[in-house]
Amino acid sequence: MVEPTSRTTDPVLAKSTPAISAAFPFDKQHIEILGSQMAYVDQGEGPVILFIHGNPTSSYLWRNIIPHVSNRHRAIAVDLIGMGDSDQPDIDYRFTTHASYLDTFIDALELKDIILVVHDWGSGLGMRYARLNQDNVRGIVLMEALLPPALPAESYEAISEPASSLFRNLRTLDVGEEMVLDNNFFVEGILGQVGVARQLSRQELNAYRAPFSTRESRRPTLQWPREIPIGGEPGDVAAEISANGEWFYQAELPKLFFFADPGALIPPEAANYIAENASNIQVVALGQATHFVQEDHPHVIGRALAAWLADLDGSPENPPAQWPAS
């Protein structure tokens, strides 16, 4: 079993942390990428940290974590194309297309020596970037990631229920469309019901709902589950996630891994495997949570991230930036 031998939750310190805030105290900037506008948060100065979200979230996911690190670092949180406040162009929203937009975004901002902080599909995109641009990445921080041995999955039967049936339905023509395009399944059903251990407030849910107010606007959130590599399909994504895994376990760059119990993409047995087999890794046990761990344990994540960065930079920690009102 994974033992919390590195940066772990300190219940005494946890009592002194601010409440989880629904406020988003950052102004977003925009930049033209491949003919469309991509939105992003850009806070602080110093070494670059790039936060990359997944489905169906945005930079809003990192709102309570950014203040822990923006006092000593330049914290950038991107809204992936088609998500958050970024444009929703008429594209296929496949993994490879997202990768092209993200790579171009990083080049356009001239980001160097990046620390990647990644979650969900942001992990697949971030690890791919790190694998292909190893001289531009200083370290990687991941949570609830797309990573072997959990993914790629050999078959639907290799995935435990109810996830197996869920993925079948999402990838079935018309069934997935009804779930996601008609009923906004990922926001209402996952974020709003099973993906967060606590109850999200109306303000928080409305922030996640805002980019996906129409049937057409939800297309990006439907394509993501159809990109999950199961039984070798889609072949290009299966190859990318497998290559990410091979690189991740062998790469010597510093890694920080957060895991939750029971987790979702990373159940306990997968967390054990990652902790035991990845090189140069620190492990943080978050406690009870499923998938959107940033909504249940943002200050534990922020404090552990700040401490890890201080070690990496060889500098003492500073107090976090001022917290917004809830």
Neighbours of 265 (CB within 10 A): 21
Cα–Cα dist 151/168, whole Å: 15
Q: Where does residue 165 rank: exposed (0-12), middle (13-18), buried (19+ CB within 10 A)?
A: exposed
Neighbours of 278 (CB within 10 A): 18
Give the strand pairing for 74-78 and 137-145. Answer: unpaired
Question: Is there a contact between 325 and 23 (Cβ–Cβ < 8 Å)?
Answer: yes
- Helix, strand, coil share (%) of the chain residues, nearest 5: 45, 20, 40
Cα–Cα dist 177/169, whole Å: 10
> Is 144 among the catalytic positions?
yes
Give the active site residue among 291, 295, 297, 299: 291
Give the active site residue among 120, 204, 240, 296: 120
Single-letter amino acid code for the residue at 297: H
Give the active site residue among 87, 144, 204, 240: 144
> Is 68 among the catalytic positions?
no
So which residues are the catalytic ones? 120, 144, 291
